[in-house]
Amino acid sequence: MKTFSAPPTNVSLTRLVLLLLIFGSVILSCRNDDSNALMPDEEDGQYTMYYRILNFIETKDGMPSTSPIISNRTTYSTADILDYIEGAMNLQYTDSRLSWASYDVRTDTFTIPLTAGYASQQDLEDLFTEIEDTASVHFYGISEPDKFPLLYDATNLSSNLSLMTLSVTARVGKVHRDPTPFGSTDYWNVYGGKCGPYSGGTSQASEVIADALNDYYAPYGCTFFTSVTTAYYQDLKNYGWDDTNTGDTNPGDFILDYRTYMFHCWDYQSWGDPEEWGCEAAIGFPDCSEFDGEDIQCLEPDEMNYYFESIREIYADFRSAQANPYLTHINSVIILDPILCLQTQEGWNPIVSFGQPNACNSSNYPTYLPPCCN
């Protein structure tokens, strides 16, 4: 399979086009093109094939050209056909950011008429539509959830001056979502940064947990959300936020005592009677006489993974209780509550958005395959 370079995702196509216009372009004469096309300068020449494939998709769909200075071929060699089929399918319908747990593979065979060894624009568009339909049948025919196209690979089986026979192999993968994202060096301090013998990073443990949740639930393809609802602490508390961890093997040691991070106690020796400090809320908190600040402030990988999994379970229970069965996670913000009453209590405070995901038609690739006519 041949590959082509796409511009960086953090630079818009409009800006790239403006850069091309500002810094100039060179004329490249292409065999079998109706006319010469203005091309990017040497700095952006690596994106030429990307723009040609994008132009092909836009022309086929009747959309305005993102890069009008690039004109497509009007006849295509057998090598061109493979490049455009692979490029257009992968650009629109695959997502290289994803990782995969398993694959469903299917190979289909197609033909395209040639004239003196070249295909016309219309014949290539017709072939591409047929390949899209076949890929759609494959994609929507897979019952396994959490699936998305991984790769489309075209191969020339045979060709002569009047006909080309090619195969297209489709790989659709089950998206891999790691339920234990924290590894052996992920010791995160409650207040910020890595801890223990490890250094680097400035985020609080709550921010790291939120980032991991957002990565885990990140939508793929082109997705927008409707029926958006936001859950706060009081909403999620009803489904286990701050509940006691009934599976804790050493309760009362300030480590994994609760389903989400929370710590509260009162050091009588240091502070005296909590009522004298106006801290009536501290009455009944466990004694801190054996408290080791390093143990509670530095969360180990197993603790981080426990909180991650516990929060996922809380989210699942919250969603299942809602009237809309299609709600899914959009975004998590988890903050460390201010220290209360002379360090007697701290915990994580969630602000979480849920919504119903919907596929969209957009020039922001990749996107879901269109439903097929068959």
Question: pLDDT tens-digit profile of 229-268?
Answer: 999 999 999 999 999 999 999 888 888 999 999 987 766 5
Answer yes or no: is pLDDT of 109 > 50. Answer: yes
What is the distance, to the nearest Å, from the Cα of residue 302 to the centroid of all Cα atoms in its chain?
24
pTM: 0.70
3 state SS of 75: strand
Q: Quick one: pLDDT at residue 143? A: 83
Mean pLDDT of the 353-362 span: 85
Answer yes or no: is pLDDT of 136 > 90. Answer: yes
- Return phi, psi of residue 104, to 5°: -120, 120
Q: Quick one: pLDDT at residue 256? A: 93
Q: In which band, very low, low, confident or very high, does the pLDDT at 1 lie, cut at 50, 70 and 90? A: low
CA nearest neighbour of 171 among 196, 145, 153, 186: 153
Q: What is d(CA 86, CA 83) in angstroms, rounded to the nearest whole number?
A: 5
| Residue predicted with more confidence, 86 or 277 | 86
Mean pLDDT of the 44-58 span: 84
Q: What is d(CA 115, CA 108) in angstroms, rounded to the nearest whole number?
A: 23
Average pLDDT, the chain: 82
Answer yes or no: is pLDDT of 22 > 50. Answer: no
Q: What is d(CA 265, CA 261) in angstroms, rounded to the nearest whole number?
A: 14
Q: What is d(CA 103, CA 266) in angstroms, rounded to the nearest whole number?
A: 54
Q: Quick one: pLDDT at residue 43? A: 42
Q: Quick one: pLDDT at residue 126? A: 96
Q: Quick one: pLDDT at residue 7? A: 65
Q: Quick one: pLDDT at residue 280? A: 54
Question: pLDDT tens-digit profile of 309-337?
Answer: 999 999 999 999 999 999 999 999 999 98
Domains of the chain: 1-73 (no CATH), 76-176 (3.30.110), 188-359 (no CATH)
- Exposed (0-12), middle (13-18) or buried (19+): which is 13, by Cβ within 10 Å? middle
